Amino acid sequence: MLRFIELIARFKEYVILCVLIIMSITMMSFGAATKLTGFRTIIIGALGIVHSGVDNLPNFLTITSENRALRELAYNLNQEVLASRKAQVENQILHELLHLKDSSSYPLVSTKIVGRTMDKSRHYVVIDAGQQDSVADNMAVVNYQGLVGYIFSASPHYSIVQTILDKNSRIAARVRRTNVNGILSWEGGDILWLKNIPKTDTVVVGDLIVTSPFSTRFPSDIPVGKIAEIRDEPNTLFSKIVVEPVVRFNSLEYVMVRRQQPDVERQMIEDFLEKKLQKK
Amino acid sequence: MYSSIGIFIVDTIMISFFRNEAYISDKPAFMSTPRVRYMVYAATAVLLSAFQVIFVSFIAIEGVTPDLVLIWCIWVALYEGQLVGMVVGFGTGLVFDAIASAVLGSNALAKVIASFIAGYFYKEGMERQRTGSWSFILIVTVCGAIHNLIYYFFYLRPTEVNFYTFFLHYGVFTTLYTSVAAIIPKLIASRKQEW
């Protein structure tokens, strides 16, 4: 026993290293970042307050590119305003004719971004709306351009939004023109990848990608991006498609939370099916 | 004047609490006690993690940010040795995971191993020389590369994200940016050495 203790004391650095590694891996295997809900809620609230305080500080490294992007945006918006005035009138007539369900039947909560976290594989933003504004986990977050992300966690006054530019992004999406469905994912940079699109499908550069009705997390038909490049994957039946998000994440300032939570019953039945298939 | 104040503040936090007796002798006695030092390590871990999450994005280049928390862990390992370095690395990693809403344990694991490797460069009585020389930058680069390799390997492997592309883009540039950021504490330490 004494020799064993001596042995441990002699190699204490290695023993402690092993213990700490085992502890870390055990914690990682428990997984999700939302496990410490109460604790994280306090941290989100505290960080939100600090973020609000530093929100007005300019980021000198990105200010030039932001200015350029804003100028382009102002020009494009001007063009779009002209086009949308005409479209608005047409839209109203069509709505009445087709008795379409009003797409804004779900109320939107308008919020301001008060903080950003860019940490290698994750891109979060902190918004100044929380549980007291009826914002809850998993609600979709959009802006006037399209899909921004979803509510990752909410405290009473602030919420963390996980943007679509995140390693955990898996968005069921479809090409609006051809209605073919695929999966959007992020692998770094400012682009998304659309997978599972058959080579036989006639997608072209510039096609708009929207959320699919098959998505359990996001409402359907929210614009996500435009096809920027189509790559031919050798030895597969599918193309790998580069999608440029429609949302300009660098100049994102205001977003809206769509107060509609994913269909819990549908998610449950799909999870049940997935578990059953995994067992087989 | 501002640089003197800056040096004084950083120096008070990062250097004067460590074990170099010759230096500590002109500071209040309570600073040299291990308990106070460890409390300062804990407080610094929390403050630095919050700073990393809130402010470091202001100096992000193409989404790449320096890992100040890692520099801190390596610094402690070079001042206190492998054992304390590992424990501080683990604790700091956990605090950072909690504050940054990361998967609990991912940063702790990478920082424990980085601190363990940094601890090999620890030599009693040579703490200031280590952190004040260019070898500190080299140690940060080596430990940073291993830290990022472990982080991306364990954290991104179960996902569909391409490990090699992601590591080359973010891991390598994060390591380089962290090494550049490590020049600041190195200069402070070397300047103190001259005094």
Residues 6 or more apart whose CB falls under 8 angstroms from that of A174 comprise A180, A181, A182, A209, A210, A211, A212, A213
Residue A46 pLDDT greater than 90, yes or no: no
List pLDDT tens digits, range B38-59. 888 889 888 888 888 888 877 8
* pLDDT interval class at B117 (50, 70, 90): very high
pLDDT at B18: 44
| End-to-end CA, chain B | 17
List all residues of chain A from 79 to 108 with a beta carbon under 8 Å from chain B: none
Q: Is B105 left (phi over 0), alpha (psi -120 to 50) or beta?
A: left
Q: Report the mean per-residue pLDDT for chain B.
A: 78
Tell which of B52, B61, B104 to mutate to test the A interface (max A CBs under 10 Å).
B104
Q: CA-to-CA distance for A217 and A175, rounded, in angstroms?
A: 18
Question: Which amino acid is residue A114, in one-letter code?
Answer: V
Q: Are A187 and B161 in contact (CB under 8 A)?
A: yes
Q: Decide if A167 and B159 are in contact by the 8 Å CB cutoff.
A: yes
Burial per residue of B13-32, b for 16 or more beta-carbon CB atoms within 10 angstroms, e otherwise: ebbbbbbbeebbeeeeeeeb
Give how far Cα B192 sits from Cα of B1, B20, B186, Å: 16, 12, 10
Q: Decide if B54 and A119 are in contact by the 8 Å CB cutoff.
A: no
pLDDT at B86: 93
Q: CA-to-CA distance for B25 and B9, rounded, in angstroms?
A: 18
From chain B, the residues in CB contact with A186 under 8 A are 161
CB–CB contacts below 8 A, A to B? 137
* pLDDT interval class at A66 (50, 70, 90): confident
The ipTM is 0.78
* pLDDT interval class at B115 (50, 70, 90): very high
Could you tell me the pTM of the whole model? 0.60
From chain B, the residues in CB contact with A122 under 8 A are 100-102
List all residues of chain B from 51 to 90 with a beta carbon under 8 Å from chain A: 53-55, 57-61, 63-65, 82-83, 86-87, 90
> Where would I find the beta strands (DSSP E) of B13-53?
none
